[in-house]
Amino acid sequence: MTTPLDVLFLDPANRPPDTLSQAALDELRALPGLLDGIIPPKRDVSANLLIATWNIAHFRSLTKRWQVPAQSSLSPKRDYRCLWAITEILSRFDVIAVQEVGGDLRALRYALKVLGPGWGFLMTDVSRGTGGNNERMAYLYDKDRVSLSGLAGELVVPDESHEYGFKEGAFKKQFARNPYAVSFKSRNATFILVTAHIDYGDVDEERIPELKAIAQWMRDWAKDSYRWHHNLLVLGDFNLDRDDNKMYRAFTETHLTVPQALHAAPRTIYASPTDPRKGSYHDQIAWFIDGDANLINMELVTGGTIPLRQFLLNDLGLTNASFAPRISDHYPLWVEFRTPG
């Protein structure tokens, strides 16, 4: 049986001791067709640009087996079957911001081997401290479609933080996980992506200061970047709830705008099937659409999520809590742009 993961098995130490069940194999072979019906194809790079964000829960190590049974003491639960599905999804985009990459990089390293030499990545160091949760943030990108354009760095708030809504000296304590900015260019557009994973506090008040600071920072930066023909987009896991509460307003009060195409898209496996905006509205892709902060040479076409809970690991009869560590509790969120020359 030939699989996309065969490149891993060139190393005998990576070969699995088991085989895929027929149900799992059928599911994985059907996955490309299902994704074709959800995500636009990669057209000529001057015609479209596909950008995504995905919090891949605890994206750290994996177990070197094709399948970890539903009831098993093996850890981690993520296996080669799950890696096959994850890499198939990642391959559909030009740039993907990934949150919750861990200190152990086995899953990321193996994913990149499967994606092949045409893919590159950048990532932060591990965020230390309780709020950092030993996580990294990363960008994976298709080098045949986009390239780096020079900027990469973490956002650090200056001591004069009152202008971003904090008390003087408050940011001797920095963000729990510093937002990570990297610039990319396609044939017709240059864009800076800023990914974030906002602190998940016990109450709204613990998250609102970070949301307000990032929104104001983005506003100032977008206005400045415009002069150099760089676009600015923010994407990631902002731990928001539904779009009519004070956390969402803190995120958008500087006119940072989530496109209409994403408003009703479910963000997580826990989202309400009848109204995805009620709870679990954590992940966002946003930018400014007014005045001198507007996008240049990037026209939104469409966007959405991939409701992977519906068509992955169905034969295992998993609960949501068991599905999350295998694939994720978050859905990939994506947008397609047209980049006219």
For residue range 168-187, what is the model confidence (pLDDT) as tens digits?
555 444 455 678 899 999 98
**pLDDT above 90: residue 155:** no
Query: What's domain 4-338's architecture?
Result: 4-Layer Sandwich (3.60)
Q: How confident is the model at residue 204 (pLDDT cuts 50, 70, 90)?
A: low
The single residue listed with the structure tokens 């009152």 is: 162
What pLDDT does 103 receive? 85
**pLDDT above 80: residue 45:** no
The helix/strand/coil state of 316 is: helix
List all residues 6 or more positions away from 287 whose beta carbon is below 8 Å from its beta carbon. 222, 231, 232, 233, 234, 256, 257, 295
Up-side HSE of residue 316: CA atoms within 13 Å toward CB?
A: 26
Tokens of 5: 């993961």
- Which residue would you say has higher pLDDT here, 271 or 208? 271
Q: Which of 134-138, 221-225, 258-262, 276-280 has the highest mean predicted lDDT (pLDDT)? A: 258-262
What pLDDT does 173 receive? 47
Tokens of 2: 């030939």
* Helix-then-strand count for the chain, H and E: 7, 12
One-letter amino acid at 88 equals E
CA-wise closest residue to 50 among 60, 38, 62? 38
Region of poorest pLDDT, from 141-155, 269-283, 288-302, 313-327: 269-283
* Alpha-carbon distances of 124 from 5, 139, 155, 221, rounded to whole Å: 26, 9, 11, 21
Domain boundaries, the chain: 4-338
